[in-house]
Each structure stands twice: as structure tokens, then as C-alpha cells.
Amino acid sequence: MSNQQLQDIRQRLEAALAVAVTPTLPGSEPGAGDVCERALSEMESDLAVAAINLRWRTAKDVESALRRLESASYGVCESCEGPIGTKRLRALPWASRCIGCQSADELATQGSQGPGSLWGDWPDVFFGGIQ
């Protein structure tokens, strides 16, 4: 990878990190209004928590990618130590694994956690990350 490409990736990572750490505030005060409004408000809070968790996770991934850039291990799969494809890095600059290892991991996760596989390893983040 050329210095120009690395510089470009660093800028994209830093931009993604800035977005990920920008706080979002829930829209409405909980506890106000009728039952429907309260239910809606609770749902909004749940979504806000979910969004914050996703951002927190992305921020960690991006910080990790920036560290890999510094240590020249960027673009190397952390599982098989093979190269992570350029296309994959363009789509997901903070990817830490090649598509083969990521797919294998997601399949394993789906098998062990049943439904909800859309979010991959979401439950770990959701239940383990905020305690």
C-alpha cells in the first residue's frame, strides 16, 4: 500500500472516529404523556442505547485500526495473518479480519446464538460492554 493510500485511510478512519464519538441525545423526556407516548419514549430510549453501543463499538474498531496503521500491521488479518482485501478495506477501513475469517466467525456466531444473527456479535456488546 502506498503512503498516499495509507494517508487516505488514516483520514477516513479519523473522520469515522469523530462521527462515532459524537454524542446523540434522546429526543424526548421519559415518563411524560400517556401510555402510548411512554411506550414510544421507552422504545426511542432503547434505540438510542443501541445506537450508542454501535457507535462505541465502531469507535473501538476504528481506534484499533489506527493503532494497526501505526504499527504497520494494517491490512493484515488478525486471525489468519493473511492480507485483508483492498476492496474490503475500502468498504470498511477498520476491518480487522479478512472476509473469509469474518464470514467463518459470523457463521459460528449465528450457530451458537440463534436468531438475531443480523447483529452478529451484538449481544456481547450489548450485555457485556456497558456493565
* Shortest CB 13 distance to Zn ion, Å: 20
Give the number of other Cβ atoms within 10 Å of residue 21's Cβ.
13
Q: Which stretch binds Zn ion (CB under 5 A): 2-10, 96-104, 105-113, 115-123?
A: 96-104
Q: Which residues of 77-88 are buried (b: 16+ CB within 10 A; e: fewer)?
A: beeeeeebeeeb
| CA torsion through residues 74, 75, 77, 80, sign | negative
Total binding residues for Zn ion by CB under 5 A? 5
Q: Is 95 in the site for Zn ion (CB under 5 A)?
A: no
Q: Is 107 in the site for Zn ion (CB under 5 A)?
A: no
Binding site for Zn ion (CB under 5 A): 77, 79-80, 98, 101
